[in-house]
Amino acid sequence: MDGTHRKFLSLRWKIFILLVVVLVGVQGMYAFFSLSQLNEQFRQQREQINESEVARLDGSVEASYQRLLEAAELLPLIDTSQEDHYISPLARLSQTINLKFDAFQLTGSVNAAYLYDSKARMVGFWGEKVHISEADIQRVFDTERPLRKLICNSICLRYVAIPIQLDGKKQGVLMVGRFLYDVIYEIKQQTALDIGLVLQAPEGAGELGNWGLLINSLTNRSQNQELLEEVSLHHRFKPEGGSYVLENNGHYYEVLFSPLKGVSEGGAYWVILDDISGHLLSIRQSLMNYLLLGVGGILTALILLSLLLQKPISFFTLLAEELSQLSSGEFSQFRHTLAQFRNRDKTLGEDERDLLVKSAVLLSEQLERLQDEVDERTDSLEKSRQALTKERDFLFGLLETAPLVIITQNIKGQLRSVNHFGQQLMDLDGKSLRKANFIDSLQREEERQEFLSNTQRLVEGLESEVRTDSVLLDGVGNRHDLSWLHVRLRNSQGDEPLILSIGMDISDRKRAERRLQWLANHDPLTERPNRLFFMSCMNDAIEKCRGQDSHVAVLFIDLDRFKEVNDSLGHSVGDKLLKVATRRISDCIRDSDLLARQGGDEFSVLLTSVRDLEGAEVVASKILQAFQQPFWIGEYEIVVTVSIGISLFPDHGADGATLIKHADVAMFQAKDSGKNCYYIYDVEKDHQRFERFSLGADLRKAIQNDELLLYYQPQVDAISNRVVGVEALVRWQHPTAGLLPPDRFIPLAEELDLIIPLGEWVLREACQQMQAWIRIGLPKMTMAVNLAGQQIAHERLIKSVEEALADSGLSADCLELEVTENFVIQQPEVTVGKLTYLRERGITLAMDDFGTGYSSLSYLKKLPIDRLKIDRSFVKDIGVDRGDESIIKATLAMCHSLGLEVVAEGVETTEQLNFLRENGCQIIQGYYFSKPLPPEAFMDYICSQKAQA
Ligand SMILES: Nc1nc2c(ncn2[C@@H]2O[C@@H]3COP(=O)(O)O[C@H]4[C@@H](O)[C@H](n5cnc6c(=O)[nH]c(N)nc65)O[C@@H]4COP(=O)(O)O[C@H]3[C@H]2O)c(=O)[nH]1
């Protein structure tokens, strides 16, 4: 607020202006009322004057009637004929009037006289002639009562008519009249007023043409006619009469028009003119005096009030200025400023200013406390606000960043709000949100109906929450599984009930569940159904067939030698082989058939559309055929055949489990009969297999029960016939079946993974036996121990050999390990390193069963071996099969060139012995010298040999 503005609005000026306005107003009103009163008094005064003047005029007219009556009564009494009886009384009267009328006229008392007979006929007239109604004259004559009347035409005449009684008899009527202006001149002589008479004039004529009046008579006419003309020009004519004020030559005149009594309305008016300038001047003088007195009073009052209010206003001005300090919080400064007022002189006692100062001080203290409180609360509120903002931001952030769909909707599913995640998932933007409906996102009609009924129940309070699952397709068509929680939103704005729906994207969990579901029924490697699923399908198929003339066939397929491939080439190659094998089997069956992986290298095929067993055999043959081609897995060419077992519903079982079991049994029968073939379930062979199974169970216990034995077969130098070595061959002393040879349980041990503990037992036992024989003085020789393929591959091989030597104390050069040719050649990366180590350790390594597998002579020189054992199958054909003889010869020649010793197995005859000696075979093993013997028998054999030597 600038200074000028504040000064203009200051209290000082406001009071001044208010006082001026009030005082001037009061004074003005007083002057106005005074003026009005003066005017009213003047008006009343003028009315009285006018009334009295008019009354005076009327009185003069009335008095003149009286004189006329006297004159009329006097005339008949004057008899100038001295009783002339020759003339009638009326004629006599007429003569008298003739003689006297001039005298009457000169005195001014009569201006006209008319004489009528008894029939109202005029018999004589004198002076001005005016028309008198005959009826009036006749009435005067008849009633004998005088008549007085005023007639105004071009002039105004007042007359009196009386009946005339002459000679004691009513003779006629005498009328005497006089002009009215006589009255005016009479009055004028009595008063200073100007008086006139105006009459109605013919149209447009007369001095006052505007008003239709002419001036009959007027005192001081030369001056007053001008005034009357001016009035008629500038004022409206009032037929009932009235007064007019006009100014002329600095004088004010009042002109009164008053209707003349006794004349028809508008016929004639008295005019009274009065100079009222003196009265008006006096009124104005009075008003001026009031005004001057008022202005003087106002000025005096203002000066006195200014002096009186000077201090209080200064106080209020200062207080008003200082109060602004309160708004800026300068409470102490404010109180300090007010201190000067608190200490002021109070001789006249305290007044409102002291109360105001006290109140202001109290107010400032109160305000200061309030300010402190407000500051404190503001601080607290600010902190709360910040906390709330933080909380709100956090909640908003949660809402917007949480990977949850959070929406509000009405009970019809019309969306009211959707968070950012929801908008992205539901492919909504701000525009489409208003039109979007949650129900549209539901895929099935039942879901929509269920949703509507659920929202209804929530709104009605029948449920506090509802959980549903739905599938949502996003903008690009990706499927999302959502788990929803719907609750009624409390305190929702407006009348519309709202539902809060929180949707969690459980697609990953659902996928995992579906994956688990799938995994529960499928094999992840081959992606084919697993055993469970197969079983379920098979039972369904059986149920369909039951009671009908149709069959269901089950093929149980096992890959031959898969274990070898797996062990030798690794699991990765094995897995790939399984996949390719799955495809090959799949290619051989129809889409309506079902291929499942039972586990490991076992598969099963459900044939639901076979007519009989032959149909199943055809499929089995196709599968066998498909596996005749080698597999190429990476760089490996692998030949894997299959063994297939077939069972048929209802011939081989009434339920799925039985059918599978019997197909499995048939598969083992196929295995037993040489693999790479199919077998139809055979009850007899099933029994055998059962026995084999129970043998396996016994074998598990055999090692702990010490039921295993070692037999020893000597190896004899071909030239000297001296025993140079011995091969340890395991036997099983079965509790019920008796002594079992190794081919009855070694394959079983390999199958049942018992070959490692069995092999380690043999190794330990053989080393201890050899060391025991050495201790008792038997000649030094090598103890040959067979190693199964699994043993060589096993990580414990080196350790178990070292432990056997260490435990027994046998020297390494007394131990010979026989490894099968096939295994060594197929898995050189597994075997060569270990065998090299063992050979460097001083152990002799022999290649067993040479010639039975993938014999590769060129390969021999790369292997770390010292000896080669020619298989009995070749030796037995010496002398029988030239081919085998040639092979033996070639093998011996090659071994000689490679520096390898050759051991011939299964030598039974002299011919065989000789052939081998002749071809340079160094060591002979076979029944020719000795069968495998128990330890004691072997010792006896050695002793007897020594004795012969
Ligand atoms: N008809 C005939 N047979 C002869 C003649 N000379 C030796 N034999 C037999 O030929 C087999 C030689 O053992 P192999 O080739 O290592 O063949 C062995 C070997 O592969 C395996 N085997 C035996 N003991 C063990 C062992 O402790 N561990 C392992 N892994 N395999 C063993 O069992 C196979 C068979 O062993 P055995 O039944 O003891 O049969 C022995 C032996 O009795 C003969 O002149 N005529």
Alpha carbon of 814 to ligand 1 centroid (Å): 20
Contact between residue 739 and residue 702 where contact means Cβ atoms under 8 Å apart = no
Residue nearest (by alpha carbon) to ligand 1 atom 23: 729
Closest CA to 218 of 152, 274, 272, 158: 272
CB atoms < 10 A from the CB of 691, how many?
10
For the CA of 928, the closest atom of ligand 1 is: 45
CA 378 to chain centre: 32
Beta-sheet pairing, 867-870 with 844-850: parallel
Residues 198, 216 contacting (CB under 8 angstroms) = yes
Strands ordered across the beta sheet of 602-607: 594-599, 602-607, 552-559, 642-649, 678-680
Among all chains, which residue has been given the structure tokens 């004929």? 81
d(CA 337, CA 321): 11
Q: Which two structure tokens, joined as six digits, stand for 416?
A: 């009211």
Please enumerate in sequence order all residues whose Cβ is within 8 A of that of 908, keeping only pairs 6 or more positions apart, or say none: 876, 926, 927, 928
Ligand 1 neighbourhood includes 750 CB (under 6 angstroms): no
**Torsion over CA: 421, 422, 423, 425 (sign):** positive
Contact 785, 728 (CB under 8 A): yes
Q: What residue type is assigned to position 99 of the chain?
A: L
Return the residue matching tokens 């009327």.
Answer: 58
Which alpha helices (H) appear in 561-602, and where do they start and end?
A: 562-569, 571-587
User: Residue 427: what pLDDT?
Assistant: 83
What one-character-per-residue DSSP string does 692-753 give?
HHHHHHHHHHHTTTT-EEEEEEEEEETTT--EEEEEEEEEEEETTTEEE-HHHHHHHHHHTT
Q: Which atom of ligand 1 is nearest to the CA of 742?
A: 33
Ligand 1 mean position, distance from CA 786 (Å): 9
For residue 701, give both structure tokens. 């216990």
3-state SS, residue 165: strand
Is 731's C-beta closer than 6 angstroms to any atom of ligand 1? no
Mutate to test the pocket of ligand 1, among 763, 872, 913, 931 (most ligand atoms within 8 A of CB): 872
Cα separation, 284 vs 278, in Å, equals 10
The answer to whether the CB of 739 falls within 8 A of the CB of 705 is: no
Query: Under a CB-based contact definition with an 8 Å cutoff, are residues 788 and 827 in contact?
Result: no
Residue 81: per-residue pLDDT: 55
pTM of the predicted model, to two decimals?
Answer: 0.41
> Given the CA of residue 908, which atom of ligand 1 is nearest to it?
45
Q: Which residues contact 783 (CB under 8 A, 6 or more apart)?
A: 725, 726, 728, 766, 767, 769, 770, 810, 814, 815, 816
Q: What is the largest CA-CA distance in the chain?
A: 254
Tokens of 941: 């054999």
ipTM: 0.95
Q: Is 742 in the pocket of ligand 1 (CB under 6 A)?
A: yes
Structure token pair of residue 448: 């929509």
**DSSP state for residue 848 in the 8-state scheme:** E
Residue 210 CB neighbour total at 10 angstroms:
15
Contact of 878 with 888, CB cutoff 8 Å: yes
**Cα(456) to centroid of ligand 1, in Å?**
86
Asked whether 684 lines ligand 1 (CB < 6 A), one says no
Q: Is the separation of the CB atoms in 117 and 93 below 8 Å? A: no
Cβ of 747 closer than 6 Å to ligand 1, yes or no, is no
Atom of ligand 1 nearest to the CA of 787: 30
Using CA positions, which residue lies closest to atom 9 of ligand 1? 906
CB atoms within 10 A of CB 308: 10
Task: Outline where 191-272 has alpha helix (H).
Answer: 221-234
Structure confidence at residue 83 (pLDDT):
54
Kindly tell me the sign of the dihedral angle through the C-alpha atoms of 451, 452, 458, 461: negative
Q: Which of 729, 751, 760 has most ligand 1 atoms within 8 Å of its beta carbon, as the pocket-test mutant?
A: 729
* Dihedral pair phi/psi, residue 218, rounded to 5°: -160, 130
Q: What's the DSSP call for residue 437?
A: B
Q: What backbone phi and psi angles, to 5 degrees, belong to 210?
A: -60, -35
906 lines ligand 1 (CB under 6 A): yes
Amino acid (one-letter) located at 506: I
620: which 2 tokens?
């089995």
Using the mean position of ligand 1's atoms as its centre, give its distance from the Cα of residue 38 in Å. 170
CA distance 594 to 598: 12
Distance CA(640)–CA(560), nearest Å, equals: 6
Indicate the length of the chain as a whole number: 949
- Give just the sign of the alpha carbon dihedral 766, 771, 774, 780: positive
How far apart CA 436 and CA 416 sit, in angstroms, is: 9
Between CA 798 and CA 792 the distance in angstroms is 9
Query: What's the CA-to-centroid distance between 768 and ligand 1, angstroms?
Result: 20
Q: State the amino acid at position 758 in one-letter form.
A: L
870 touches ligand 1 (CB under 6 Å): no
**Rounded CA gap, 808 and 591, in Å?**
62
pLDDT along the chain (949 residues), means of 10: 49 76 81 82 85 83 82 74 66 82 75 88 85 88 88 81 85 87 77 83 73 84 85 86 86 88 79 86 82 84 82 78 79 82 75 82 87 89 89 82 86 87 82 81 87 89 89 84 88 75 88 87 93 93 85 94 88 93 95 93 91 91 95 91 94 91 90 90 79 86 92 96 96 93 92 91 97 92 94 92 96 94 71 91 90 63 87 92 90 90 95 96 96 95 79
CA 934 to ligand 1 centroid distance, Å: 14
**Whole-angstrom Cα distance, residue 406 to residue 892?**
87
Atom in ligand 1 nearest the alpha carbon of residue 849: 15
Structure tokens that stand for 306 in this block: 């200014």
| 741 C-alpha to ligand 1 centroid (Å) | 9
Instruction: Give the sign of the dihedral formed by CA 388, CA 390, CA 391, CA 396.
Output: positive
Residue pair 815/843 in contact (Cβ under 8 Å)? The answer is yes
Verify whether ligand 1 is closer than 6 Å to residue 932 (CB atom). yes
Cis peptide before 650 (omega within 30 of 0): yes
CB 758 within 8 A of CB 730: yes
Mutate to test the pocket of ligand 1, among 711, 786, 923 (most ligand atoms within 8 A of CB): 786
**What Rg do the C-alpha atoms of the chain give, in angstroms?**
81
Distance 596 CA to ligand 1 centre (A): 40
Distance 729 CA to ligand 1 centre (A): 6
* Any atom of ligand 1 within 6 Å of the Cβ of 127: no
Q: Cβ(764) to ligand 1 under 6 A?
A: no
Q: Residue 820's beta-bridge partner residues? A: 848
Q: Tell me the two tokens of residue 551.
A: 């069959």
> Strand pairing partners for 818?
786, 846
Nearest 5 degrees, angle CA 828-CA 833-CA 839?
A: 115
Q: Strands, E, within 544-692: which ranges?
A: 552-559, 594-599, 602-607, 631-633, 636-638, 642-649, 678-680
756 lines ligand 1 (CB under 6 A): no
Which residues are within 8 A (CB) of 550 and not within 5 positions of it... i.e. 6 or more apart? 611
